[in-house]
Amino acid sequence: MALPAYQDYTIRAKVSEGLTLSGALKTAISETHQSKGPSAMTCTDAATCDAIGSSVMDAAALAGNANVTSVTSGATGVITIAYKPAVVPAAANTLLITPVDAAGAAAVDLSNAATAGQQINWKCGLGGVGATGGTLLAKYRPASCRP
């Protein structure tokens, strides 16, 4: 009878790999925002990642691994981790890591000039303005990423 709980646990372990892969991108986005100010934080390939100073984002992190399809970021700084269908169904395979204000309550658009000088924190499972925290089911998210 414990089999479903174990299956959920193994999926959560695979999901946590995506969080590890996203670490370098979070650092690059934070450092770029603090040193250069608000700008587009897009990182979808080697060229766009280099533009935000994310040369530490190697091909393995961008391309994922056995469980992760990709780790990318949009202009606002929201990081999207996409998981492979072998881990979770394709329609429910994304987890978002969002830059938030110092209180950790509201999403921050890092491309907006109004964010200049703001402290950046990160929140897993929170979407940007008008978005959700991704399509990944809550039972598969690590505890820190559940709503």
Q: Where are the domains of the chain?
A: 3-142
Report the alpha-carbon distance of residue 142 to residue 30 in Å, rounded.
23
Q: What is the pTM of this model?
A: 0.88
* Confidence class for position 125, pLDDT limits 50, 70, 90: confident
Residue, of 11 and 65, whose pLDDT is higher = 11
Residue 99 has pLDDT above 60, yes or no: yes
Fold category of 3-142 in CATH: Glycoprotein, Type 4 Pilin (3.30.700)
pLDDT band at 93 (very low <50, low <70, confident <90, very high): very high
Reported as a pLDDT band with limits 50, 70 and 90, residue 51 is confident
Residue 94 has pLDDT above 90, yes or no: yes
Above 70 in pLDDT, residue 129? no
Question: pLDDT-based confidence at 88, cuts 50/70/90?
Answer: very high
Angstrom distance (rounded) from CA 8 to CA 42: 32
Confidence of residue 127 (pLDDT cuts 50, 70, 90): low
Predicted local confidence at residue 14, as pLDDT: 93
